Each structure stands twice: as structure tokens, then as C-alpha cells.
Amino acid sequence: MSDSSTANADPVPTTGADQWSPQLIKDIIASHQSRPGAMLPILHGIQDQLGYIPEASVPIIADALRQTRAEVHGIISFYHHFRTRPTGTHVLHVCRAEACQAMGGRQLESHIKSSLGIDYHQTSRDNEVTLEPVYCLGNCACAPSVQVGERVHGRMTTAKFDRLLSGLTTSTLELK
Ligand code: FES
């Protein structure tokens, strides 16, 4: 297996955090509403489109599904996958599953958190990186693994991570 693959890639937001509108939320709801258990597909659909679930979408979802706002909030907060704030420029997933932990994943995780100055489900102060845990990226043979955007990076070390992070922030600067 090579060092990297695109296995288990998260959908890339196709719209953007500043593009949300009540109509967009209604359209996403309409495309899932007739399904049994429509709440989760709707929440996934919104996050796939926008990268997060805006607070202002909660009453729209609640009305459409005839549920209370508290019930919608309850589902969003139960699943750590769902975000209620926009992500940073890059989403970094760190594998916390067994094979990666056995290959130095804990030490790598500590290094990543202290380098970024954040914990899981948080975004760095410069708004560049959002850190998320993941439980197996399907790249166990090259553990420990992390994923940035759609790309999985295997055999990660603290030094490799420092280079990866430096490359991310450099490319962001070039784009700006
Ligand atoms: S356990 Fe980390 S990639 Fe499978």
C-alpha cells in the first residue's frame, strides 16, 4: 500500500460557508424529507454543502420535520461529526483507531494539538486548520495516518507533520 490514498474522504463542501440561505436549506430538506428518518440525511446534506450547520437553519429544519428546535439541537450535538461553525481553510483528521495508536498515534496526536494550540473540534486561531478525530482511514498498513481534505497521509511522524503543516499554511498564503 502506498503512503497515501483517497479512502474514506469526506465530501468537500461545494458551496461555502458564506453562501448559505434559507432557500438552500429548504431545497436540501425537500430532497430528503420524504425518506424515513430524514433528519440525519438532511443534516449531512447541509454540512456537505456548507461545511457546517448554521444555527439559523435549525428552526427551518424543525418546522419542516415537525420537531422542536431542542430536538434538532439534540441530534446535532449528539453526533460529533456535525459542526455548527464554519471550518478553517483545511480540515485535518487524525486517526485515533487501534492500528494508528499502536504505531505512535498518541504521541503524534499530542504533537499536532500542541503545534496547532487546539483540541479536537476546534479551529486554529489563524483560521487555517480545523482538527477532527477519525476512527480508521483505511490506511492501517501505513499507520499512523492523518487526512487533510481528501488526501490521506500515512507513516506520519512529528517531523513529517511539521512539513505538512508548513506546506498547508504556505499554500494558503500563496492563494491569498
Ligand atoms: S487505524 Fe488508522 S488508518 Fe486504520
**Res 51: pLDDT:** 87
The rounded distance, in Å, linking the Cα atoms of 26 and 165 is 37
Average pLDDT over residues 101-113: 97
Whether residue 174 has pLDDT greater than 60: no
Q: How crowded is the C-beta side of 122, counted as CA atoms within 13 Å? A: 11
Q: Are residues 116 and 160 in the same domain?
A: yes
Whether residue 19 has pLDDT greater than 50: yes
Model confidence pLDDT, tens digit, residues 34-65: 999 999 999 999 999 998 999 999 999 999 99
User: Does ligand 1 lie within 6 Å of residue 140's CB atom?
Assistant: yes
Residue 146 belongs to a domain: yes
Strands 90-95 and 129-134, sheet pairing: parallel
User: Does ligand 1 lie within 6 Å of residue 146's CB atom?
Assistant: no
Average pLDDT over residues 6-29: 67
Candidate from 45-49, 53-57, 67-71, 78-82 with smallest mean pLDDT: 78-82
The 129-134 sheet, strands edge to edge: 122-123, 129-134, 90-95, 146-148, 151-153
- Nearest Cα residue to 123 out of 86, 168, 82: 86
Q: Are residues 104 and 163 in the same domain?
A: yes
Q: Are residues 107 and 59 in the same domain?
A: no
**Res 20: pLDDT:** 86
Instruction: Give the distance (Å) from ligand 1 centre to CA of residue 105.
Output: 10
**Domains: count for the chain:** 2
Q: Which of 136, 142, 151 to mutate to test the pocket of ligand 1 (most atoms within 8 A of CB)?
A: 136
Got the DSSP string for 24-45? HHHHHHHHHTTSTTTHHHHHHH
- Cell for 116? 496547532
Residue 11 belongs to a domain: no
**Res 172: pLDDT:** 59
- Ligand 1 atom with the smallest distance to the CA of 142 is 3
For residue 11, what is the DSSP state?
Answer: P
What CATH number is associated with residue 140?
3.40.30.10
Contacts of 136 (CB under 8 A, 6+ apart): 8, 95, 97, 99, 100
Boundary (domain end) residue, out of 34, 50, 78: 78
Average pLDDT over residues 169-176: 59
Angle in degrees, CA 37, 39, 43, rounded to 5: 140
Q: Are residues 102 and 156 in the same domain?
A: yes
Domain of 113, in residue numbers: 90-175
Q: Are residues 112 and 52 in the same domain?
A: no
Q: Are residues 120 and 169 in the same domain?
A: yes
Q: Are residues 53 and 73 in the same domain?
A: yes
Whether residue 175 has pLDDT greater than 80: no
User: Does ligand 1 lie within 6 Å of residue 94's CB atom?
Assistant: no
Residue 4 belongs to a domain: no
- Cell for 125? 486561531
Q: Are residues 153 and 117 in the same domain?
A: yes
Average pLDDT over residues 97-103: 97
Model confidence pLDDT, tens digit, residues 144-162: 999 998 999 999 999 999 9
**Res 164: pLDDT:** 96
User: Does ligand 1 lie within 6 Å of residue 134's CB atom?
Assistant: no
Q: What is the 3-state secondary structure (H, E, C) of 134-172?
A: ECCCCCHHHCCCEEECCEEECCCCHHHHHHHHHHHHHHH
Boundary (domain end) residue, out of 78, 113, 129: 78
Q: Which of 8, 94, 95, 155 to mutate to test the pocket of ligand 1 (most atoms within 8 A of CB)?
A: 95
User: Does ligand 1 lie within 6 Å of residue 103's CB atom?
Assistant: no
Q: Which of 106, 132, 139 to mutate to test the pocket of ligand 1 (most atoms within 8 A of CB)?
A: 139
User: Which pTM was predicted?
Assistant: 0.74
Please state whether the peptide bond connecting residue 36 to the residue before it is cis, i.e. omega within 30 degrees of 0.
Answer: no
Q: Are residues 63 and 21 in the same domain?
A: yes
Q: Are residues 116 and 167 in the same domain?
A: yes
